[in-house]
């Protein structure tokens, strides 16, 4: 299954639903559940989006169907992003396994200052 990140921004109607019934988004997510979908988390966030949800779906079509249905049910504009595990990327011709991790100090941690920071 593939992982998808859903970025939700409530519409005016969605905000009214949330004020009236704070559990409406959770119920909308449950109503959209299907055997081929797995909800991994739902988070309220600060910034440009109101909520972020992570789901696993078998394909883009299933993720798009979920996004549309969830948006209609909870009153939200949803931007859906396919997420690729970093272990699948290649760096310099070698796969990044995620098993080894190199820690590098940030300039402020190493005591050196980069230009422009005084």
Q: Which is more confidently placed, 80 or 95?
A: 80
Whether residue 103 is contained in a domain is answered as no
Q: How many folded domains does the chain comprise?
A: 1
Whether residue 74 is contained in a domain is answered as yes
Whether residue 26 is contained in a domain is answered as yes
Whether residue 13 is contained in a domain is answered as yes
Return the bridge partners of 5, or none. 54, 81
- Is the pLDDT confidence value at 23 over 90? yes
Residue 74: give the domain boundaries. 2-84
Share above pLDDT 70 across residues of the chain, in percent, rounded to a whole number:
77
Round to whole Å and give the CA distance between 15 and 76. Answer: 9
Whether residue 96 is contained in a domain is answered as no
Q: How much is the pLDDT for 99?
A: 56
Whether residue 91 is contained in a domain is answered as no
At 39 the three-state DSSP class reads strand
pTM of the model: 0.74
Whether residue 111 is contained in a domain is answered as no
The gap between the terminal CA atoms of the chain, to the nearest Å, is 48
- Is the pLDDT confidence value at 103 over 60? no
- Please report, for the domain that includes residue 36, its CATH number: 3.30.70.920
Whether residue 94 is contained in a domain is answered as no
Cβ(39)–Cβ(29) under 8 Å?
Answer: yes
Confidence of residue 112 (pLDDT cuts 50, 70, 90): very low
- Is the pLDDT confidence value at 113 over 60? no
Q: Cα separations (Å) of 14 from 18, 63, 70? A: 6, 21, 11
Q: How much is the pLDDT for 97?
A: 64
């Amino acid at each position: 299954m593939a992982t998808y990140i859903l970025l939700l921004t409530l519409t005016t109607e969605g905000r009214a639903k949330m004020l009236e019934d704070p559990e409406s988004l959770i119920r909308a997510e449950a109503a959209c559940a299907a055997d081929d979908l797995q909800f991994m988390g739902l988070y309220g966030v600060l910034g440009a989006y109101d909520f972020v949800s992570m789901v696993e779906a078998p394909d883009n079509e299933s993720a798009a169907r979920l996004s549309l249905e969830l948006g209609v049910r909870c009153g939200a504009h949803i931007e859906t992003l396919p997420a690729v595990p970093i272990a699948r990327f290649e760096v310099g011709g070698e796969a990044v396994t995620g098993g080894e991790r190199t820690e590098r100090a940030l300039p402020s941690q190493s005591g050196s200052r980069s230009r422009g920071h005084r």
